[in-house]
Structure 1
Amino acid sequence: MVLSFENEFRLSTVALRFNGIHPDSHRDKRWFIQFIFFNSFAIYATIVYVGFDPLISIFVLQICGQLDILSYQLLALNEVTEQNEIIKKLKTINIKLQDLYR
């Protein structure tokens, strides 16, 4: 038995019903509000992603810079001769290190 599909396929009106145009585009403006809402969310999501993406590298650079400053402060302790001043500076350096490592 041979199946023949000649003249079987017709263009249906159901397929033409959904052509991508809003049915009441001239009278009903809800689609415009949805369009504005969806596009504003897309722009907001893009800004949030672009702002969040380099955040880890910024934190790493910030901590590296602060550790470098603390190393210079430790090297500057060699020039101090008073015992009390050395203790005060070591306390401030230790407090800054504790803040960095938290």
Structure 2
Amino acid sequence: MDIREITGNYSVSPQITPDEAVAIKAAGFKSVICNRPDNEQPDQPSHDAVKAAVEAAGLTFRYIPVISGQMTAQNVEDQAAALAEIEGPVLAYCRSGTRCTNLFAAIQQAKG
């Protein structure tokens, strides 16, 4: 896994797989957010498969899909709401981690 810490409570990574859920918990994360829509690539695991593994490991999971290059105000609001509700530290993932990083930056900008 290529985990990049943005803050002490929020990190991002490229696509994770179900078999990495236990390692994510062992790394200290309490929650996972998937920002990658299903079926972007034929070989990616579905969010349902990752969710099942993450929840089986005792972590919270949220699915907030963001289409690459098309982040919306609603995506930013949904991500901010999830971050306010779930326990951190949070690991957010997408294809490369960029959408998750951009969402976080947009949330910070909206806060002023």
Give the TM-score normalised by structure 2.
Answer: 0.21
Q: Flag the structure with more relative contact order, 1 or 2, with Cα contacts below 8 A and sequence separation at least 6.
A: 2
More strand by share: 2
- Structure number with larger C-alpha Rg: 1
